[in-house]
Amino acid sequence: MISFELNGKTTEVTVAPDTALLWVVRDHLKLKGSKFGCGMGLCGACSMLIDGESTRTCVLPMAAIQGRKVTTIEGIGTPDMLSTLQSAWVEASVAQCGYCQSGQLVSATALLRKNSNPSDNEIDEAMSGNICRCGTYPNIKKAIKQAAKDLGEDSGQLQMVAYFDPNSIQQEA
């Protein structure tokens, strides 16, 4: 059995220790916000915060997760309680197809946690692990800068969810 903290909640799973975290979260724990894109840690669609760092979870075995803090997009904000970054994202209409966006938001959240006022180069560096085939990069930059500004004015939070109840999920189709 492997025990870790998922979105503020202690979680225990019994799976083969080489199972990738992404599949445990998506298929066993039914949180679908994190996506499968490449299976090789190349595209970033599966990004989650592991102890605050944006991490590719499609290649991260559960054995490496024991005792660690995992935050998925669901643990950052919800439709009713958007984080400041998510609000900026919505205002800038960043998403196109939307598939990579959870991963983008996770990486941007990790960036703003460490750097409250990132430069263009710092944004490039922090976000270059996340591919967007729709090319939302110009709006991603815009939203990150807006969120940095809003957070700097003390009018927001990077993470709205302290404890995420998986039963609260409603998918919009």
| Phi (first) and psi of residue 64, to 5 degrees | -85, 0
Query: What separation in angstroms does the CA of 24 have from each of 36, 42, 43, 75, 128?
Result: 12, 19, 19, 16, 26
The owner of tokens 């599949």 is 23
Specify the 3-state DSSP secondary structure of 95. coil
Which of residues 10 and 171 has its CB atom nearest to other proteins in the complex? 171
Alpha-carbon dihedral 12, 18, 21, 24, rounded to 10 degrees: -60
User: Does position 167 bind other proteins by CB under 8 A?
Assistant: no
In this chain, which stretch among 59-67, 74-82, 111-119, 146-154 interacts with other proteins, using CB under 8 A? 74-82
Q: Contacting other proteins (CB under 8 A), which of 47, 101, 148, 156?
A: 101
- Shortest Å, Cβ 38 to other proteins: 4
Told to check if 133 binds other proteins by CB under 8 A, we report yes
Residues 26-45 that bind other proteins (CB under 8 A): 27-28, 30-40, 42-43, 45
Q: How far, rounded to the nearest angstrom, does the alpha carbon of residue 111 sit from its chain's CA centroid? A: 11
- Strand 9-13 to strand 48-50: parallel, antiparallel, or no bridges (unpaired)? unpaired
- Under the rule (CB under 8 A), what is the footprint of other proteins? 16, 19-20, 23, 27-28, 30-40, 42-43, 45, 72-74, 77-79, 82, 86, 89-91, 93-102, 105, 123-125, 127-128, 130-141, 169-173
